Amino acid sequence: MRSRILLLSFAVLLLACVMAGAAEKLTLSESVSLALQNNRSVMDAQEKANAADAKLGQSYSNFLPKLTISGGEGLYYSQPASIVLPAQLGGGSFLTGPDEAGNSSSYTFNLQQTLFAGGKVITAWQIADVSSRAQKEDLRRVKNETELSVTSSFYGLLKAQKGLEVINSSISNMQRNVDQAQVFYDSGIGSNLDLLRAKTQLANLEISRIQMDNGLSLARLAFENTLGVKLPAGTDIVEPETNDQNSTSYRQDELVALAYQNRPEWRAYSMAMDIAGKALNLTYSGFLPNIAYNYSYGRNKIEYPNTAASNSDLSNWKSMLVASWTLFDGFLTVNQIKEARANYNSAAAQQQNIKDGIELDVNSAYLNLKAAKEQVDASATTADLAKRTLDLTEVSYKSQIASEQNYLDAQTANQAAQLNLFSSKYDYEIAKAKLNKAVGTKII
């Protein structure tokens, strides 16, 4: 029994360690999922979409009858009138009702169904339906923007990490250079100038390391802000595998056509035009009558403790068609029509601006992607040449063939080339994400 408990405890501890280890690594896809759950802009857009759905549900209620029931129970008292008879009728007096409170109970049931409202009911439902779908498109827009922001900040953090790694590697190399210069100086082979130059270069690299370290902290804060949640200490991000696929299979005009099919902004605009047109039609309902059916049934019962003869138990009901027609509303409807038409024309006037913006966005993203890919290729070539140059120069320097200045220049060039290579690779991945966002769907 004890061995089973120990085995179970070990298994739980192992699982906890595995889960803790998994929690320390965060991929790009996991980062996007985390942001879509916690980013404040996404949460706001989601609640607005939920509200639009609720508004659509409310619009259905106008098609259905309204049923109400009311009732009450308590005491009822009405002071009776006293009637005095003339002498010719024998004189005397009597009361017109019981002079006491009676036990009263009543209830009423009412049904009302709109039959015709000049198109208001169905148009209001259509507007709510389109508004709900438009709000979902806006939610998709916010999610697309959030995904792009996460991708940019993710690679921005990777860029800062790689930059710090390159600087640390350069510091290690430069420290060896300082040590070598010190040996040369101590042995009388090298000059004090060479030693001071190497130490100065090392000090400059240390300044760069401090700047890079601060930049890494800022990049992490920006990344967490985009996620909408603070990551546990020790959490690291996993560099995705690079994908050399590009958009050469699509022409620019094909990408623009895809954007018109998928961009949530364009789809939402089309829906807004639909809403504006329906709102214009809705205003004309002010010229038409309203017709409804109304049915009600009620019962009222009063019982007097001491005057049973005055008890009552009455019921009533009615079934009616009710119509109303506003013949003059002070030109309210006329001006509502003018307002709705102006709003429709205003929305229509924005069409070309929106189309131009989408086309510019797609073409810019496409051209930037091509330039980013070319930058990666050029940076890779430069980094390879810089690394080979540094290796050869280092050998020549140790053999006293190359000068220390040449060696320092080769190290500086190699550091810059390596930083440019990492930066261009990550910029290329960000350019892919920007093109996907510009088109409105993942194509690369």
Q: Which of 397, 392, 377, 389 is nearest to 415 (CA)?
A: 389
Residue 108 CB coordination number (10 Å)? 16
On whether residue 18 sits in a domain, the answer given is no
**CA torsion 372→375→380→383, rounded to 10°?**
-130
Contact assessment for residue 136 and residue 49, using Cβ atoms and an 8 Å cutoff: yes
On whether residue 238 sits in a domain, the answer given is yes
Query: Is the model's pLDDT at 4 over the cut of 70?
Result: no
SS3 342: helix
Q: Are residues 148 and 258 in the same domain?
A: yes
DSSP 346-409: HHHHTHHHHHHHHHHHHHHHHHHHHHHHHHHHHHHHHHHHHHHHHHHHHHHHHTTSS-HHHHHH
Average pLDDT, the chain: 87
Q: Which of 41, 24, 432, 423 is nearest to 225 (CA)?
A: 41
Give me the numbers of helices (H) and strands (E) for the chain, helices first please.
10, 8
Contact assessment for residue 138 and residue 46, using Cβ atoms and an 8 Å cutoff: no
Q: Are residues 109 and 124 in the same domain?
A: no
Q: Are residues 36 and 169 in the same domain?
A: yes
Of 324, 350, 370, the domain-final residue: 324
On whether residue 299 sits in a domain, the answer given is yes
Q: Are residues 103 and 185 in the same domain?
A: no
Q: Are residues 271 and 316 in the same domain?
A: no
Q: Are residues 430 and 297 in the same domain?
A: no
Give the separation between CA 134 and CA 112, rounded to whole angstroms: 32
| Structure confidence by residue, pLDDT tens digits, 12-29 | 333 344 344 444 789 999
Q: Are residues 268 and 154 in the same domain?
A: yes
| Structure confidence by residue, pLDDT tens digits, 144-157 | 999 999 999 999 99
Give the separation between CA 365 and CA 349, rounded to whole angstroms: 26
Map tokens 């290729």 to a residue: 377
- CATH number of 296's domain: 2.20.200
Which residues, in sequence order, are bridge partners of residue 75?
Answer: 103
Of 324, 350, 376, the domain-final residue: 324
Query: Is the model's pLDDT at 192 over the cut of 90?
Result: no
On whether residue 9 sits in a domain, the answer given is no
| Structure confidence by residue, pLDDT tens digits, 256-268 | 999 999 999 999 9
Q: Between the CA of residue 199 and those of 40, 63, 174, 202, 400, what are the distances in Å?
A: 49, 84, 8, 5, 19
Scored b (16 or more CB within 10 A) or e, 394-420 reads beebeeeebebeebbebbbbbbebbbb
Q: Which of 439, 426, 434 is nearest to 375 (CA)?
A: 426
Q: Between the CA of residue 251 and those of 204, 208, 247, 362, what are the distances in Å?
A: 47, 43, 8, 11
The count of domains in the chain is 2
Give the separation between CA 36 and CA 42, rounded to whole angstroms: 6
Which pLDDT value is given to residue 9?
A: 41
On whether residue 7 sits in a domain, the answer given is no
Which pLDDT value is given to residue 248?
A: 55
On whether residue 252 sits in a domain, the answer given is yes
Domain boundaries, position 133: 27-64+117-289+328-439
Query: Is the model's pLDDT at 367 over the cut of 60?
Result: yes
Confidence at 1, pLDDT banded by 50, 70, 90: very low
Angle, CA 26 vertex, CA 24 and CA 31 arms, to 5° = 140
On whether residue 195 sits in a domain, the answer given is yes
Q: Are residues 258 and 405 in the same domain?
A: yes
- Residue 240: which residues within 8 A CB-CB, separation 6 or more? 27, 28, 429
Give the separation between CA 363 and CA 255, rounded to whole angstroms: 8
Give the separation between CA 444 and CA 429, rounded to whole angstroms: 10
| Structure confidence by residue, pLDDT tens digits, 300-310 | 999 998 888 88
On whether residue 16 sits in a domain, the answer given is no
- CATH number of 265's domain: 1.20.1600.10
Residue 148 CB coordination number (10 Å)? 18
Q: Are residues 172 and 48 in the same domain?
A: yes
Confidence at 2, pLDDT banded by 50, 70, 90: very low
Q: Are residues 337 and 269 in the same domain?
A: yes
Q: Are residues 245 and 357 in the same domain?
A: yes
Give the separation between CA 444 and CA 339, rounded to whole angstroms: 45
Q: Are residues 87 and 170 in the same domain?
A: no
| Structure confidence by residue, pLDDT tens digits, 387-434 | 999 889 888 877 778 777 787 788 888 888 988 998 999 999 999 999
